[in-house]
Amino acid sequence: MTASLRRAVPVPGRLGAALMLLCGFGGSAWAQQAPASTAPENLPGMVCDAPWFKAGARIQLEADGDMPMSTTMTSRYPVVTESGCSAWLSIHSKSALAAMMGPPVVMDQVLRMRFEKAGAITGKVRSRNATINAQARYTRLFGEASFEGVGVLSYVGLPLREGSVIPGQTMTASMELEIHSLATDEMVTTLHAPSASVVVGERRVGRRQTIETALGPRECFPITYEKRSSIGPLMMGDELIQPEPAVMNITEWFCPSEGYVLRTEVHQKGKVERIDTTAIGPLGEDVQ
């Protein structure tokens, strides 16, 4: 592989962040949507009772900072069972390194996800053989990823109050990807990451307060924690690469009226990146 192609390879180092977003939404899929009346009761910490957990629900996220990002997540075919819920999740995202001033990396993912009850407020999430299709300036990338996690998957239904502590969460993932030249479609290398991980520490709840969000003023709880993300040992062709793990301090602003985090502040290496939820609602409709 040429040096220019290697520099252009869109190594998915943000997979950890993407997985954490999925934990606030996702599901796995089937033939029909379960009516809201069939939702199991007393499942705090799960996504099943979230107001946006319905067929065709869309969440739009926009980020600034060194890596601007625009992401649309769409839920399809949600199914609710006695032990949890499942749905298909489609993700379309654009991201770029601001310092490179190049065109964004465009990525599409389709995941079949399942959520199961694991404790009083904890759950398990699993996805197998999620498809990934991405395109950068000189290359395109496609392949599959699988992941599973355990912990508090959603703040919906939790008795949040100032000073309370929410247990953390652990996510593990594996990826198998091919990199092709955009000009010739020739495969130039492969990527294999067998042990990516995201570890979220204990989450502490702050005082409920009114903040300005992209959807207007909302009463929200600030929830802070430390997150450690690692892509793990990465095989690029025959070469072993050991990317450095990333440690971030996160503040999420969870707004009960939407049952979702409407703002996330990521503190890392003296910089702050902000991720805003700019729309929640049916496809083709902005809910303000």
Quick one: average pLDDT of 75-87?
85
Given a contact cutoff of 8 angstroms between Cβ atoms, the answer to whether 231 and 15 are in contact is yes
Asked if the structure places residue 188 within a domain, the reply is: yes
Asked if the structure places residue 183 within a domain, the reply is: yes
pTM above 0.85, yes or no: no
CA separation for the pair 155, 159 (Å, rounded): 9
Asked if the structure places residue 43 within a domain, the reply is: yes
Asked if the structure places residue 288 within a domain, the reply is: no
Position of tokens 């409920």?
A: 208
Asked if the structure places residue 271 within a domain, the reply is: yes
Structural domain for 160, as ranges: 3-282
CB-CB neighbours of 172 under 10 Å: 17
Whether the per-residue pLDDT at 178 is higher than 80: the answer is yes
Asked if the structure places residue 160 within a domain, the reply is: yes
Asked if the structure places residue 287 within a domain, the reply is: no
pLDDT in tens, 204-240: 999 999 999 999 999 999 999 999 999 899 898 999 9
pLDDT of residue 206: 98
Name the pLDDT band for 243 (thresholds 50, 70, 90).
confident
CA separation for the pair 121, 44 (Å, rounded): 5
pLDDT in tens, 133-168: 888 888 888 899 898 998 887 888 888 999 999 999
Residue 42 CA, distance from chain mean position: 25
Q: Across the chain, what does the average pLDDT equal?
A: 79
Given a contact cutoff of 8 angstroms between Cβ atoms, the answer to whether 89 and 113 are in contact is yes
CA separation for the pair 177, 32 (Å, rounded): 31
Asked if the structure places residue 227 within a domain, the reply is: yes
pLDDT of residue 97: 53
pLDDT of residue 251: 97
Indicate the number of domains in the chain: 1
Whether the per-residue pLDDT at 40 is higher than 50: the answer is no
pLDDT of residue 15: 37
237: amino acid identity, one letter: G
